[in-house]
Amino acid sequence: MSKTSHHNRRGAILIVALLCLLVIMSLLGTMLLAALQSTRQLHAERDLRQCELLLQAGIDRALTQIAKQPDYRGETHEFSAADIIDQGPGRLVIEVTPATADSRVQIHIDAEYPADSEFSVRRSRTLSIPTNTN
Q: Is the pLDDT assigned to residue 110 strictly greater than 60?
A: yes
30-34, 42-46, 95-99, 114-118: range with highest mean pLDDT: 30-34
Mean pLDDT for all residues in the chain: 89
Rounded to whole angstroms, the Cα distance separating 128 from 25 reads 58
For residue 134, CA distances in Å to 36, 103, 130, 131 come to 58, 12, 12, 9
Residue-level pLDDT at 100: 73
Q: Hey, where are the domains in the chain? A: 3-130
Q: For 57-109, how does the pLDDT look when each residue is reduced to its tens digit (9 = 90+)?
A: 999 999 999 999 988 999 999 999 888 888 889 999 999 998 777 778 999 99
How confident is residue 8, by pLDDT bands cut at 50, 70 and 90?
confident
Query: Which residues are CB-contacts of 97 (< 8 A; sequence separation ≥ 6)?
Result: 105, 106, 107, 108
Residue-level pLDDT at 119: 86
Helix (H) or strand (E) holding 64: helix 3-68
